[in-house]
Amino acid sequence: MAMQYATFAGGCFWCMVKPFDETPGIESVISGYTGGHVENPTYEQVCSETTGHLEAVQIMFDDELYSYEQLLSTFWTLIDPTDAGGQFYDRGESYTTAIFYHDEEQRELAERSKADLAASGKFNKPIAVRILPANTFYAAEHYHQYYYKKNPMHYERYAVGSGRKAFQEQHWGHRK
């Protein structure tokens, strides 16, 4: 096994877990915070927009079963890559998008996938996702972990009510 890490910020981390978690080769998907300047931030601190952190997920995956390129492909279908101010209902810096690369190969693959998406013509606005070096990742509070399993009805209402689900269906087709 070749376990690696991938870290993605795609708005509310609740909506970023399920699509990765249900994939063979994914060992874990942890909701948390990264990119900021405060050690061990809390959810309330991150939401206050004073820590510089983004809500993100850190994925431990077996690259032999599910490649980083496949993770990137999934990531793009979960977000509005043209929105620089947040994602869907959630606004502010902590809900902005980024790919945090863990090594030079991930950086190159992320840059290439972003360029490919921009060149595809799928969106008529620039791709706003930042590509940044990974830094300290802080796991979110326990109640945020695997939220879709703990609160399935609320999770579904949120995915629909936030506009995320409709955007995904419009741009990427129906997803499981």
For the chain, the residue count is 176
Query: Among this protein's residues, is 12 annotated catalytic?
Result: yes
User: Among residues 12, 72, 129, 134, which one is catalytic?
Assistant: 12
What are the start-end ranges of the H helices in the chain? Answer: 14-21, 43-47, 68-78, 104-120, 147-150, 152-161, 164-172
Helix (H) or strand (E) holding 8: strand 3-10
Q: Which residue has the tokens 């998008």?
A: 97
> b/e for 149-161, b at 16 or more Cβ within 10 A?
eeeeeebeebbee
Structure token pair of residue 1: 């096994």
Structure token pair of residue 60: 């431990």
CA distance 120 to 40: 39
CA distance 63 to 59: 11
Residue 47 phi, psi dihedral angles, 5° rounding = -65, -20
* Residue numbers annotated as active site: 12
